[in-house]
Structure 1
Amino acid sequence: MSNVTADTTASTLPPAPHNPWRELLTGSVASITFTFIAVVAVGWFWVGPKFLSFGNISIMGTFLIVPLIVGAFSGMALLSGVVDLSIGSMVGFSSAVFALLISLGWDPASAAAVTLCACLCFGAINAIAIVGFGAEPIAATLGMLVALRGIAWVLLGSQGAIFAFNIDMFNLVSTTVFGLPLFFLLAILLTAIAALIVTKTRVGRHVQAVGGDDKAAGRAGISVKKVRVAALLLSSFGAGLGGIVYAAQLGSAARATGVGLEFQVYAALMIGGYSILRGGVGNPVGGALGLLAVAGVSNILDLKAISPYYVNIIVGLLLLAAVLLDRLRGGDAYE
């Protein structure tokens, strides 16, 4: 009888008090915001006003266009509980296909459409393996990473590169607005749209629910398979866009295009509050700030003529800090 009374009393107790300071200090976006502000402060005091000049920001923005685009789309896959390791190779494959078609005389619009369709086909193969047959996402997309890299190298031929300069595409990706690259601003806008979808729409809540607890999401009437298939297709589509932008920027495609991009993007997403091991956690704004913070650190070392290898050390420490904050936010528990 006393146990029943104790249980009843416990169930009627008010919920734990809301602690805004804990959320402020450990929330995913707040944490990376503090890190980003710290990087900007270090750049300002150590490098000087040049660090925040329009010219320097424009240079950083040019290099961040593709990672921001890829991160906005692949972040949706992470939120749904799927890690897509093939994004780097998908970027390389996309740039090779697009450059090949341009070199054959195709117009950019048609070449881009065919390239994106090809990327979606390989994204569909990922979805069939992971969603249809229950393969582990890391294993399946790792296989796709290797396969796509091989296909890209075959397309690039013995020279290892395809030169396909198109003046219209180059002028488009080189356009600036108020001194900043237009495509960088569009990538920031894309991130903002992705954040609104994740935080303010039913679609976003469904994606987070599937990543957080797919069984509970299924019981709630959410189609887990459809959400994950859509997320994987979006991931491949974003990587396809990234490859097209790279080819347009460089006027060519090469074997090195996209190599290691998956680690750059996922490291930044983790620093920005995403979790590789559990879905439903993260915000596109945090992922973008993670990319900006890492780019800022790299730029500071470059301007101070310090070996860029130190960036890896700093990024590794930031990743460790992100893992610790992830544990503070609840570890493996989805909220």
Structure 2
Amino acid sequence: MTDITAAPVRKGLSEDWRAILTGSVASISITFIAVIAIGWFWVGPKFLSFGNVSIMGTFLIVPLIVGAFSGFALLSGVVDLSIGSMVAFSSALFALLISLGWDPATTAVVTLVACLCFGGINAIAIVGFGAEPIAATLGMLVALRGIAWVLLGSQGTIFAFNIDMFNLISLQLFGLPLFFLVAIALTVVAALIVTRTRAGRHVQAVGGDDKAAARAGISVRGVRVAALLLSSFGAGLGGIVYAAQLGSAARATGFGLEFQVYAALMIGGYSILRGGVGNPIGGALGLLAVAGVSNILDLKAISPYYVNIIVGLLLLAAVLLDRIRGGDAYE
């Protein structure tokens, strides 16, 4: 009996390691290591100093949080383009309520509930009425940006500095921003959910082949509704963090964030065109790699516009590698 049960375990572990070493996470890991090596040899030890990493970490908190949550929507086969405007709306509403004297905890709850309501509208349009995700969430992107601008008023800015929130968001642990480490922890939790739980397998199955998933007894509609709500929740949380970091909300908040996040997720192995493909760890490494490239150029006083060229090339390389591997469609 021992021999019979041991063989499948060894096979399963072998398959897990083979998937890790040959999959998209391995590809982005190599890219990330290459970026670190280039930074070390070109910029010097300053690149990996606690001070420099802390600065990068501060700017990465929101993209990491948004990426960890929006990745579930991509895995379920839904592209949520409204995440950048959701961040803008969240920061504007949070800042407005803080400026009116609301306490931060209540304000955060109300803001997140409002974001979930808009995420529910996305879900109703996409899941309930069968609207194309890109078209539906593009409409929400425009609408939420307009609502955010209305909340911000004619000045286009709401100042809402709160010393308690600022002190909380500025906390450090081991020389790094605490919330950066929290964002990394959220990414790890998301990865464990995707790779080690039934819920994660259901999300991948729905994104990979919704008809097969339905035949297997999985609630396709329920999974996609939950994924869209998670995406909205993550964007709402990101907007709150932005408002706490800056002590204000402005019209430019979250502008273009959806492209920054989705480009990094695709570089990290996610697919925009087909669901069931991707790993939160790969997405986080994609964001870290892009941030590393941008930081290297900043430290060398090179025009930041070159970042767009490099990110575009990395994105093309990611797409080509995905096609060379034959795709990682869910099976």
Q: TM-score range with shorter-chain normalisation? A: over 0.9
**What is the Cα deviation at residue 20 of structure 1?**
9.8
The match for 1:270 among 266, 270, 273 is: 266
SS of the counterpart of 1:253? strand
Alignment check: 8 A CA contact 1:61 1:181 kept: yes
Cα distance change of structure 1 residues 254 and 172 upon mapping to structure 2, 3 Å threshold: same
Query: What is the 5 A alignment of 1:198-237?
Result: 198-237=194-233
Letter in 1 for 2:47: F
1:319 match: 315
The match for 1:158 among 151, 154, 157 is: 154
1:257 match: 253
**What is the Cα deviation at residue 128 of structure 1?**
0.1
**What is the Cα deviation at residue 178 of structure 1?**
1.1
Cα distance change of structure 1 residues 29 and 227 upon mapping to structure 2, 3 Å threshold: same
Cα distance change of structure 1 residues 49 and 157 upon mapping to structure 2, 3 Å threshold: same
Quick check: 1:67 aligned with 2:63?
Answer: yes
| Partner Cα distance (1:308, 1:195) in 2 | 31
| Partner Cα distance (1:175, 1:240) in 2 | 21
Quick check: 1:179 aligned with 2:175?
Answer: yes
Alignment check: 8 A CA contact 1:210 1:227 kept: yes
The match for 1:167 among 160, 163, 170 is: 163
| Partner Cα distance (1:241, 1:126) in 2 | 18
| Partner Cα distance (1:20, 1:198) in 2 | 14
SS of the counterpart of 1:278? coil
Alignment check: 8 A CA contact 2:65 2:183 kept: yes
State the TM-score, normalizing by the size of structure 1. 0.93
The match for 2:29 among 30, 33, 36 is: 33
Alignment check: 8 A CA contact 1:273 1:322 kept: yes
Alignment check: 8 A CA contact 1:26 1:325 kept: no
The match for 2:131 among 135, 142, 154 is: 135
**What is the Cα deviation at residue 332 of structure 1?**
8.0
1:8 match: none
| Partner Cα distance (2:275, 2:68) in 1 | 15
The match for 1:108 among 104, 108, 120 is: 104
1:300 match: 296
SS of the counterpart of 2:39? helix
| Partner Cα distance (1:57, 1:255) in 2 | 28
Alignment check: 8 A CA contact 1:94 1:240 kept: yes
Alignment check: 8 A CA contact 1:198 1:283 kept: yes
1:192-249 alpha-carbon deviations (Å, 9 max, x no partner)? 0000000000000000000000000000000000000000000000000000000000
Letter in 2 for 1:64: L
Alignment check: 8 A CA contact 2:277 2:329 kept: no
**What is the Cα deviation at residue 27 of structure 1?**
1.0
| Partner Cα distance (2:329, 2:181) in 1 | 35
| Partner Cα distance (1:180, 1:291) in 2 | 17
SS of the counterpart of 1:305? coil
Query: What is the 5 A alignment of 1:84-95?
Result: 84-95=80-91
Alignment check: 8 A CA contact 1:88 1:261 kept: yes
SS of the counterpart of 2:249? strand
State the TM-score, normalizing by the size of structure 2. 0.94
1:23-78 alpha-carbon deviations (Å, 9 max, x no partner)? 56641100000000000000000000000000000000000000000000000000
| Partner Cα distance (1:66, 1:97) in 2 | 17
**What is the Cα deviation at residue 330 of structure 1?**
2.2
**What is the Cα deviation at residue 19 of structure 1?**
9.6
Identity score, percent? 89
| Partner Cα distance (1:49, 1:69) in 2 | 28
Quick check: 1:81 aligned with 2:81?
Answer: no
Q: How many equivalent pairs are there? A: 318
Cα distance change of structure 1 residues 123 and 24 upon mapping to structure 2, 3 Å threshold: closer
Alignment check: 8 A CA contact 2:264 2:283 kept: yes
Cα distance change of structure 1 residues 128 and 55 upon mapping to structure 2, 3 Å threshold: same
